[in-house]
Structure 1
């Protein structure tokens, strides 16, 4: 079984997986599996209040998680002009989104990736996945698979050991309504 097939099998079973993104390795899980999300938050030692990012291969994959009726056509046009790419937007969340994903906010952070591995995972998985930097809260994000093994040991189901992109910092985050940069 290829590593990609093993990763996809793990996602479907609620496992935590690691994969390269545009800048660093990400860890993630199925955004519709609440037990997997709780496990991810525990593993990363991340407060629920912060919320998480969803990464997708297309905008259509994000539609069940956002409420685009709260955005103007001009706002949507500006967002779409930055994708695919390393820009994350906080958009109004749909009523289906758990606070495990949105944290203390009424929005959800989303990105359409241009990283070939992320695109391939999301296409084959058929939906977005949670993407948070592969590191314990407060530690440096992992840029190599060996770093993930050092920080997390065997707590990650599988690591897709491929190259990260050429971005030197995690994605910038902007508010979809105000266009203010949040990170």
Structure 2
């Protein structure tokens, strides 16, 4: 089913559904990160091993404050600034943060940290706010294929196996860069 309503899409997530939606650079697949059954559906759709982990997408820093708290103040400010000072056409930044909260292992995979991005994409912000928390964000594609860049491509990959929130794709030319917040190492450039 296709919806144009962010509120309806958030209700779908609250009812254990998987949703395809446009992000900053590509279409993503999302679900409630605390719902293992919905998350397992994403892994099956993508044919992705659980060990790889996924990104959590948030609308604002308040949704991820608990994940930032183990870091020193200077690093916290650097991360927050990287999210707040980004223009719509610039590539997003995903940070690997210490997982000292209740983020399940199925989200982090084999990694000791959790990947988090505060989005500046208006539709994604609205979706996270309507859902009331961060959501899973992984590219909408089966393993080995290019990420979907529009609704039609997402539907070609997944047909009626999930729901779709239609909207405009962001202006970022590439998927987010991933940086380890503890070491500063660039994981995906």
Please report the TM-score for the alignment, with normalisation by the length of structure 1: 0.93
Rounded Cα–Cα distance in structure 1 between residues aligned with 2:82 and 2:62 = 15
Deviation readout 1:113-133 (Å, 9 max, x if unpaired): 000000000111110000001
Rounded Cα–Cα distance in structure 1 between residues aligned with 2:19 and 2:81 = 29
Tell whether the 8 Å contact from 2:7 to 2:130 is kept in structure 1 after alignment: no
In the other structure, the counterpart of 1:171 is: 176
Residue correspondences, number: 180
Counterpart secondary structure, 2:129: helix
Q: State whether structure 2 residue 90 is matched by structure 1 residue 89.
A: no
Tell whether the 8 Å contact from 1:57 to 1:119 is kept in structure 2 after alignment: yes
In the other structure, the counterpart of 2:58 is: 56
Rounded Cα–Cα distance in structure 1 between residues aligned with 2:68 and 2:81 = 19
Rounded Cα–Cα distance in structure 1 between residues aligned with 2:40 and 2:65 = 23
Tell whether the 8 Å contact from 1:57 to 1:114 is kept in structure 2 after alignment: yes
Question: CA 1:140 to 1:160, structure 2 compared with 1: closer, same or farther past 3 Å?
Answer: same
Q: State whether structure 2 residue 151 is matched by structure 1 residue 139.
A: no
Counterpart secondary structure, 1:7: helix
Rounded Cα–Cα distance in structure 2 between residues aligned with 1:176 and 1:75 = 7
Q: Which runs of 5+ in 1 are unaligned?
A: none
Rounded Cα–Cα distance in structure 1 between residues aligned with 2:22 and 2:122 = 9
Q: 1:159 Cα deviation (Å)?
A: 1.1
Once superposed, what is the RMSD of the aligned Cα atoms? 1.4
In the other structure, the counterpart of 1:39 is: 41
In the other structure, the counterpart of 1:117 is: 123
Deviation readout 1:93-146 (Å, 9 max, x if unpaired): 124121100000110000100000000001111100000011111110000000
Rounded Cα–Cα distance in structure 2 between residues aligned with 1:88 and 1:99 = 18
* Superposed structure 1 runs of 4+ greater than 4 Å apart: none
Please report the TM-score for the alignment, with normalisation by the length of structure 2: 0.90
Q: Which runs of 5+ in 2 are unaligned?
A: 87-91
In the other structure, the counterpart of 1:23 is: 25
Rounded Cα–Cα distance in structure 2 between residues aligned with 1:95 and 1:7 = 26
